[in-house]
Amino acid sequence: MSAAQATMTNPANGDVRIKSLITLIDTLTALVAEENAELAKGLPASRLKQVDEKNRLAEIFERTVAECAAGTTSLTVRDRMLREQLLERILKLRGAMDENLVRLRAAIEASNRRIEAVMQAIREQIAAVSPYGASGRLAARAVSSGTSRSA
C-alpha cells in the first residue's frame, strides 16, 4: 500500500479531511448567502465582490467531489455525528446554491432589461435626428404648411 493510500484509509486522517470539507462547505455557504443578500437588494451580478472567492471555493469542492466519485479519494466517515454534520452542511449548501441560481437568473434578466431600455432610448434618439429612414433612404420630413390670411 502506498503512503497516499494509507493516508486516505486512515480513519483519523478521514476525520480531518471531513472536518476540512465541512469548513470549506461552511465558508462557501456563507459566501453564497452573502451574495444572495446582495442580489436580493437588486445589485447587478457583475458588481458582486464574492464571485471570485465563491468560484475558487466551488472549484475546490467540485474537485473533492469528483475525486470521491472517481474513487481516488475516500471520505469514509466512521463517526456518525461527523457524518450527520457533513450531510447537514451539504443540504444547507444545496439550498443556498439553489437560491443563488434563482437570484442570479433574476439579476441577469434585470440587466438584460436595463440594456434593452438603454438601447431603445439610443434607437429613438438616433431616429429623431437622422435624416434617413429605416430603409436607408432620405426620409421625407413632415413639413408644416400654414395658410396665411391677409386682408
Within-domain flag for 137: no
Distance CA 134, CA 34 (A): 47
Tell me whether residue 54 is in a domain. yes
User: What are 85-111's pLDDT values in tens digits?
Assistant: 999 999 999 999 999 999 999 988 888
**Rounded to whole angstroms, how far apart are CA atoms 27 and 66?**
19
What is the 3-state secondary structure of 37-66? HHHHCCCCHHHCCCHHHHHHHHHHHHHHHH
Find where cell 479531511 sits: 17
16 in a domain, yes or no?
yes
Domain annotation covers residue 145: no
CA angle 27, 28, 34 (to 5 degrees): 90
Residue 112 lies inside a defined structural domain of this protein? yes
User: Tens digit of pLDDT for each residue in 68-92?
Assistant: 888 777 777 788 899 899 999 999 9
Q: How many domains does the chain have?
A: 1
Is residue 91 in a domain? Answer: yes
Model pLDDT, residue 150: 58
Residue 30 sits in which domain range? 3-129
Q: Which residue has the cell 400654414?
A: 146
Whole-number Å distance between alpha carbons of 54 and 72: 25
Closest residue by Cα to residue 50 from 63, 40, 39, 42: 39
Contact 82, 18 (CB under 8 A): yes
pTM of the model: 0.67
Cell numbers describing residue 25: 462547505
- Residue 115: inside a domain, yes or no? yes
Residue 22 lies in a domain: yes
- Per-residue pLDDT reduced to its tens digit, 31-74: 999 999 988 888 776 677 888 899 999 999 999 888 888 877 77
